[in-house]
Structure 1
């Protein structure tokens, strides 16, 4: 299944459960919880937990975008346009953008 179809399925699932009308602050808390689970999967080298954490993060972000009357596609496109021409370098395994290298 492609990402557009999966996203549409997530949106339908959220609407059926009324999540699209819930409080964004609660969804943000859920995102933090899922990121913690992802970190746990990475720290333990558990591929299934990693996949679940990344997937759950996408689901939560999709629902959060709905609650804020944004589309997840719009948000991803916005972020990509911010980074697409970004220059920088890797320092100790972390990408540091060029504007932060001069600090």
Structure 2
């Protein structure tokens, strides 16, 4: 299911010309905008908006992966391999690595 959704995002990004006419820096700015919108929805405690805005963050991350020739699965796997080896502790609701 996730692979189909990822492909849907990539197809959309090609249709809109994002893959051919954009770059990682421009898309980083878009991702930052989407993260801000997610934060606003989170602070307003609006579950429907949280879902939508978090989805937009995922969309921008998938586009970033594609711009770098990567799949979302490759990126998640690399991150998971990195974080599973970490040690640390919870502080103020956040895991802080050693």
Structure 2: tracts of 5 or more residues without a match: none
Structure 1: tracts of 5 or more residues without a match: none
Aligned pairs for 1:1-103 within 5 A: 2-21=1-20, 22-97=22-97, 99=98
Computed over aligned residues only, the root mean square deviation of the Cα atoms, in angstroms, reads 1.2
Question: Deviating runs (4+, > 6 A) in structure 1?
Answer: none
Rg: which structure is higher? 1
Farther off after superposition, 37-46 or 80-89: 80-89
TM-score of the two chains, using structure 1 as the length reference: 0.86
TM-score of the two chains, using structure 2 as the length reference: 0.90
Give the whole-Å Cα distance in 2 for the aligned partners of 1:31 and 1:43.
18
Count the aligned residue pairs. Answer: 97
Deviation of 1:4 (Å): 1.3
